Amino acid sequence: MKIPRSKKSILIVEDEPFLVEMYKTRFLQDGYKVYVALNGTPVMGIMKKHKPNIVLLDIVMPEKNGYEVLKDLKGNKETRKVPVLIFSNLAQDAEVKKGMAFGADDYFVKSDYTPTQIVAKVEKMINESRKKGNSKKKKAK
């Protein structure tokens, strides 16, 4: 089942302005409401205020890095179930394993994927997350 256009939202956490604008434009074109954090510091405030469906998270950022943000997100009962997709230029196996161990739902190397591929993956992750939520609600009845 496709997500209604008005129900899709994403938080892009990225410190590179060019990439922010490229991904923001691409997600807006696909009907997403887009929130942006240029570093990790404001993420929890944005999450609590806007409750986006998914987070696209860079690792190397000023002030608060992606691992710290991921730890905050997954350690908070209000945000722990929100899917987090790491997209970073850190491609070493150790970095990928670390991101997954901290609770990321997936890990992409930025240079290996086009914005269209990232949007498709985000869409799939949101749909999967909603299916899990709906099946849990049905079991609870």
Structure tokens at 72: 């905050």
CB contact at 8 A, 117 and 82: no
Fold of the domain built from segment(s) 5-140: Rossmann fold (3.40.50)
Give the residue extent of every domain in the chain. 5-140
Rounded Cα–Cα distance for residues 66 and 107 (Å)? 12
Which letter does DSSP use for residue 112 in this model?
A: G
Q: What is the pLDDT along the chain (141 residues), one digit of tens a residue?
A: 444 445 789 999 999 999 999 999 999 999 999 999 999 999 999 999 999 999 999 999 988 999 999 999 999 999 999 999 999 888 788 888 988 999 999 999 888 888 889 989 998 888 887 777 655 444 444
pLDDT at position 127 is: 83
CA distance 15 to 102: 21
pLDDT number for residue 139 = 47
Return the pLDDT at 140.
Answer: 45
Q: Which of 42, 60, 36, 54 is nearest to 109 (CA)?
A: 60
The whole-angstrom separation of Cα 53 and Cα 7 is 8
CA angle, 54 then 58 then 59, to 5°: 125
Pairing of strands 54-57, 84-88: parallel
